[in-house]
Structure 1
């Protein structure tokens, strides 16, 4: 898809490999704005204005890493319509599809004619990140890319074979673990959202999927230096977050990414330390 000088539209903020992979192949990752006050929904007008003759694809990460956003069906349909109008394929990363506190809608289900590359894997929903197994589904109008993938698959670098058999069984088997996991995560999501918004100097949108939360730093000392915030917090309170600028400086700066996988008791201790840290910071 990408040759020297081509552009790929990615959501801002975004999962870093989408930026680095595009750059590695000589392309330009172009961020489209997602609106924090609207739960990090993509700004469709902004996205469309970023399309040029060198644009080769639009990336959707839904549910989203790092924001936890879940795009509405209306928003997804608008992106699909824009992509179709410009004859652009959509790369749809759906690895958190069932870690969704709303109903998951795949953009691939919204058009029979648009071009889609759908990405998924075992790491998140099936709780097996160390197995390193993922998969890709292509729409029928991608014959050349499909042939290239088959050629790539002929080399000896692939997912481990023993690991693929239980994954196949898991896809066909019961999914009761997913419901249990979502119940736990929903409780922790609700607590993290409430508690972080209680801390003076922070505010956050409510994530509707994944196990991430992406608060905004409003404290004047750290509002434009999120990296210093996470490092100072680590050194003084032994609580670690990821600086938001690591997910794109334009839209990630002034934020940090948290994970609400731990039990509520552990989250509470961490957030208490964050509050103490900010209160003591002049």
Structure 2
């Protein structure tokens, strides 16, 4: 696992570009205020040596533990997003679809006849077709990209810019600890709770599907049929009252063109 780690470029996603610190970024002598050359050279050497040494000691003492801690934290985030937040958002989306369909029916009933009479409006129809697979794909467990926003790798969390490098073995071990603890914590969480949570969400969505199929959709259909009568009346009234005026105006403007 650690063999695939790039030890040369430790910040491929430019996470810590803002803390790239060089000697020239901290100390500078303007014209007329120059130290002795050997003092300036020694200052440059001391700055870089102590920067590298202090950073390496800090990462040697704390880096591996911190990487493991971040692995556990992001595993917890991934667990809650995969098993709670994303299904909750999907649950809310299904219930909101009823309101969307109801508003669409009312809009078509009241507004569409007038807009059709003037020829300036076209109805926009949305399709809510959901496809489900009978068997789970063990290779691709997110075919609809529900949780792309929580794809977390070591490079997305920890990165060392130029001038702040830990010891190679510490960086490799931090990489290994982060991935191991993240995978271990997530697998333990799903082992302890995943099956029960999946069963609970199955029951929730089964209940939603039952009410939608046997109650909500038939009631919306009944409402739509009753509204179609009102729509026809509105269309007839609009055709009687407004269309002749529009035709007359059209003929008047056509005569002006001649």
When normalised by structure 1's length, the TM-score is: 0.20
Higher relative contact order, structure no. (Cα contacts within 8 Å, ≥ 6 residues apart): 2
Identify, as 1 or 2, the structure richer in helix: 2
Q: Larger Cα Rg: Structure 1 or Structure 2?
A: 2
Normalised by the length of structure 2, the TM-score is 0.21
